[in-house]
């Protein structure tokens, strides 16, 4: 494994960055999430990044697989050790989705975010975010491994994904450089994480709300309750108003029924 500097990201030299001061750029790995967990166990500092051209066992949310398309997909995991209460750990996945949106907007597309962190264009998934938290024996947040997959330069997808997934290349009709998208993503993550540490999650959530496809939409919670998604609270939970006027706070699982972005 080789660790290497990726140069200057958003005007910050490598040694000034919170995220991306060290980037382990791998050709192939089981999962960049697993690799970060191994590095964390070996004492890697916060902000360490692993990227790979291909994952043999890429992980999605809820135990799903994440397909890449070797060399055409941006596969990134970041080690974070935030000073946040466990209940606010979901803010990191909002940071991930927002940083993806900023990075792909610079490539000329206008994505929307489906709560909590799917990045969509025209209802098809351009990127996914997986935030895996580990707590200490005392129940405090020890680390969050923030994993991001962006479909960058795939010309096509396997038949089972073709209706649900899309790449920058398919959207714009031109080639997109995975390394450039990576640098933009790391720059946006670094800037957003600084903001979160300095001023809390309000600015992050405001930027997320502007891109949300979920707020204002009718949604159904995992346990079958329906209503309109009104807002997200300061910990990223979805606030849903039911038809009988009750206010639900949804923190886990998935909602369905949000319109295609
Ligand atoms: C989702 O299900 O939407 C989340 C997908 C997250 C995929 C990324 S790719 C880089 C990192 N390594 C993994 O194994 N998963 C995440």
CATH number of the domain enclosing 237: 2.30.30.100
3 belongs to a structural domain: no
31 belongs to a structural domain: yes
The verdict on the CB of residue 203 being under 6 Å from ligand 1 is no
CA distance 121 to 232: 21
From 93, 27, 29, 45, select the one nearest 251 (Cα to Cα): 93
CB 149 within 8 A of CB 75: yes
Whether residues 81 and 137 share a domain: the answer is yes
CATH number of the domain enclosing 21: 3.30.930.10
In tens, the pLDDT along 52-107 reads 999 999 999 988 999 999 999 999 999 999 999 998 999 999 999 999 999 999 99
The verdict on the CB of residue 116 being under 6 Å from ligand 1 is no
90 belongs to a structural domain: yes
From 164, 144, 44, select the one nearest 94 (Cα to Cα): 144
User: What's the structural domain count of the chain?
Assistant: 2
One-letter-per-residue 3-state SS of the chain: CCEECCCCECCECHHHCCCCCCEEEEEEECCHHHHHHHHHHCCCCCCCEEEEEEECCCECHHHCECCCCCCCEEEEEEEECCCCCHHHCCHHHHHHHHHHHHHHHCCCCCCEEECCCEEEECCEEEEEEEEEEEECCCCCEEEEEEEEEEECCCCCCCCCCCCCECCHHHHHCCCCCHHHHHHHHHHHHHHHHHHHHHHCCHHHHHHHHHCECCCCCEEECCCCCEEEEEEECCCCCEEEEECCCCEEEECCCCCECCCCC
Q: Which residue has the higher pLDDT, 256 or 242?
A: 242
Whether residues 185 and 245 share a domain: the answer is no
The verdict on the CB of residue 241 being under 6 Å from ligand 1 is no
Whether residues 193 and 84 share a domain: the answer is yes
Q: Which domain holds residue 241?
A: 218-257
Q: Which residue lies with its CA nearest to atom 9 of ligand 1?
A: 149
Whether residues 89 and 164 share a domain: the answer is yes
Can you give the pLDDT at residue 254? Answer: 47
The verdict on the CB of residue 130 being under 6 Å from ligand 1 is yes
1 belongs to a structural domain: no
In tens, the pLDDT along 161-204 reads 999 999 999 999 999 999 999 999 999 999 999 999 999 999 99
pLDDT surpasses 80 at 2 = no
Whether residues 13 and 57 share a domain: the answer is yes
Whether residues 144 and 39 share a domain: the answer is yes
CA distance 119 to 105: 11
Whether residues 140 and 18 share a domain: the answer is yes
The verdict on the CB of residue 31 being under 6 Å from ligand 1 is yes
In tens, the pLDDT along 209-245 reads 999 999 999 999 877 889 999 999 999 999 999 988 9
196 belongs to a structural domain: yes
Whether residues 193 and 224 share a domain: the answer is no
**∠61-146-196 over CA atoms, to 5°?**
125
Cα 149 to ligand 1 centre (Å): 5
Whether residues 139 and 232 share a domain: the answer is no
Whether residues 204 and 222 share a domain: the answer is no
């Amino acid at each position: 494994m080789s660790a290497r500097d990726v140069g200057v990201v958003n005007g910050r030299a490598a040694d000034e960055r919170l995220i991306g001061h060290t980037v382990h750029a791998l050709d192939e790995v089981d999962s960049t999430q697993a690799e970060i967990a191994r590095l964390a166990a070996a004492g890697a500092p916060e902000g360490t990044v692993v990227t790979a051209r291909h994952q043999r066992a890429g992980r999605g949310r809820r135990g799903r697989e994440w397909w890449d398309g070797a060399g055409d997909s941006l596969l990134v995991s970041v080690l974070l050790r935030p000073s946040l209460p466990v209940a606010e750990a979901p803010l990191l996945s909002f940071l991930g989705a927002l940083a993806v949106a900023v990075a792909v907007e610079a490539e000329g597309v206008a994505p929307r975010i489906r709560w909590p962190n799917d990045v969509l264009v025209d209802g098809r998934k351009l990127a996914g975010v997986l935030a895996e938290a580990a707590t200490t024996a005392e129940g405090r947040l020890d680390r969050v491994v923030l994993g991001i997959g962006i479909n960058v330069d795939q010309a096509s997808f396997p038949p089972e994904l073709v209706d649900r997934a899309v790449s920058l290349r398919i959207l714009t009709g031109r080639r997109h450089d995975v390394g450039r998208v990576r640098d933009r993503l790391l720059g946006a993550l670094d800037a957003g994480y600084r903001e979160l540490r300095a001023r809390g999650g309000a600015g992050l959530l405001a930027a997320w709300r502007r891109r949300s496809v979920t707020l204002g939409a009718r949604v159904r919670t995992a346990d079958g309750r329906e209503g309109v998604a009104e807002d997200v609270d300061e910990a990223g939970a979805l606030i849903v108003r039911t038809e009988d006027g009750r206010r639900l706070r949804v923190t886990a699982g998935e909602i369905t029924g949000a319109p295609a972005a």
